[in-house]
Amino acid sequence: MISAYHRPTRITVSLPNILHNYQLLKGLRQRPVFAVIKADAYGHGSLPIAKALEAIEADGFCVAVSDEALELRQAGITSRILVLGLTDPQDACLHAQKNIDLTVSSLDWLKKAYDFLKNSSSLPLNVHLKIDSGMGRIGVRDTKEAQAIIDYIKDHQDHLTLAGIFTHYATADSSQANCKNYVENQSQFFKEKIDALHLEVLAHRPIIHQSNTALSFWYPEKTLDAIRLGIGLYGCNPSDGEVTLPSDLPILPALSLTTTLSYVKQLPAGQSISYGATYTTEKDEWIGTLPIGYADGLPRSSTGYQVLIDGHLCPIVGRVCMDQCMVRLPYAMPTGALVTIIGTDPISGQSLSAESLAQYNHTISYELFCGFSPRIPRHYLN
């Protein structure tokens, strides 16, 4: 999809805010921090963000799939990269050549990968053993299989290196008692697995990492050798407001979404607006049209959500269309007036957060960010 540069709708990403968030957590926890920039950095733009972070010597990056890692290498990123998802074992040589770390979740995968590596002259493939401590997604649960993977790596150190062991938490972003208990259950499970493994057979000790954004924010005592900073990198509360952010972590939102009024007219009482005629004016009303719709990632269910225009909160009326939507104005505002959907209104200083728009649409900021279409140009503040 082409980016619509000749339309006023745009996403602005503050690179200084992203660097602030990264350095803030790294300074507080005194551990290496890997920036999670999967899914195009949660819709913020992975390449500009990776370049900005590498310029301050960030410890490394995490992505979801191998193509995201290869894109970073092709763009000249040289820092450590870990692919968190599973990769086809036949691509092991390519990732070894590019010095990209891969996740291993079974002995069978490792053996298949080695079959491709054994006749290769590439560097040893760095792998991170994934332990499923309770997410139920990918990862080893059986101690014997985990040890078998470690022993296999020990016996094939010419082509394999165990760079890390990690797990992922399912409920660290919740204040509910059952969720807090589940965090403790996962923590105990992972600790018991690590304690039971004979890591001394390896030439080098792997890094042990379990902290995602939520765990690093609200369970700092569980920080091990490294942190994987995801949604917090972009200045969002991983609980979407359910849990208050720690006072020593004043993270800054990195993304704003703005557009302008493209058309303004007064409609008489009794006039319906948009598809389905779900909204009808009760009196003479000033209606403004915004050049943004659900094809851009503004959820169709945003009807009623209030945006900021010249310091005024203006509700979206009628159904959100594919490319446009309409808002009710307090008076005849001029076309070209700035509309803030996410971010701070320059007139009033009021702010609208991504979390508030996500909550209004019964989703989370992660999904909202990832849904913003490439049709919206990204502009970067340096």
Provide the annotated active-site residues: 38, 275
Per DSSP, the three-state class of 126 is: strand
Give CA–CA dist 279/186, Å, rounded.
49
Buried b (16+ CB within 10 A) or exposed e, 306-339: bbbbbebebebbbbbbebbbbbbbeeebeeeeeb
**Residue 301 burial (CB count, 10 A):** 14
Q: Is 322 annotated as a binding residue?
A: yes
- Phi/psi region, residue 277 (left: phi>0; alpha: psi -120 to 50; beta: rest), is left
C-alpha dist (Å) from residue 229 to 38, 47, 58, 145, 298? 11, 17, 11, 29, 26
180-185 — which CB contacts under 8 Å span 24+ positions? Answer: 182/134, 183/215, 183/219, 185/134
Give CA–CA dist 42/11, Å, rounded.
13
**Residue 36 burial (CB count, 10 A):** 24
Query: What is the total residue count of the chain?
Result: 382
Q: Is 328 annotated as a binding residue?
A: no
The answer to whether 117 and 92 are in contact (CB under 8 A) is yes
What is the CA 272 to chain-centroid distance, rounded? 39
Give CA–CA dist 300/294, Å, rounded.
6
CA 289-292-293 angle, to 5 degrees, is: 105
The answer to whether 252 and 285 are in contact (CB under 8 A) is no
DSSP, res 215: H
Q: Give every CB contact of residue 12 below 8 A, 6+ residues apart in sequence.
A: 255, 256, 258, 343, 378, 379, 380, 381
Bridge partners of 263?
289
Please enumerate, by residue number, every residue annotated as part of a binding site for substrate. Answer: 137, 322
